[in-house]
Structure 1
Amino acid sequence: MKKQWLFWWFANIFWIATFTVGTVALWLREVDGAGVTQTPVAKLAAIIVLLIAFTIPLIIQVVWLIINLVISINNKTNIQ
């Protein structure tokens, strides 16, 4: 496995772990930073905002995946 694939996998693991920890923290908190008691609807809204924020890293990871695939295919055809 080449370096670019290892970096891609490590980046994916990092973003998945960060999203998971953030989601769990948002769901388990009873009161937010402003002192407002969190209802299930408010918790869900906060998680949706977090999900929207994580679409940017998701797009970057998908573009990176496509680049890695193209490079891998080009390297295989050049070897043969």
Structure 2
Amino acid sequence: MKKRWISWWFGNIFWIIVFGIWAAIIWLRDVDGAGVTQTPEIKSISLIVLLIAFIIPVFFQIIWLIINLRMSKKNNYTI
């Protein structure tokens, strides 16, 4: 594997771990930072907000994937 693919996989693993940790923190907390008791509805809304925030890294990862695929295809034809 090329370095760009290895770094792409590490980037994906990093974002999956970060998302999982934040999702667990949101779902397992009973009271948020403002002192509001968390109901399942509020927790679900918080998870939706977290998903919206993670659209940006997913977008960049998809662009990076497309670039890697095109570079790999380009390098395979020049052999």
Seq. identity, %? 58
**Consecutive unaligned residues in structure 2, runs of 5 or more:** none
| Partner of residue 77, structure 1 | 77
TM-score, normalization: structure 1? 0.98
Q: CA deviation at 1:19?
A: 0.2
SS at structure 1 position matched to 2:78: helix
TM-score, normalization: structure 2? 0.99
| Partner of residue 61, structure 2 | 61
Q: Residue type matched to 1:13 in 2?
A: I
Runs of 4+ in 1 over 2 A off after TM superposition: none
Q: Residue type matched to 2:14 in 1?
A: F
Root-mean-square deviation over aligned CA pairs: 0.3
Number of matched residues? 79
1:20 equivalenced with 2:25 (yes/no):
no
**Consecutive unaligned residues in structure 1, runs of 5 or more:** none
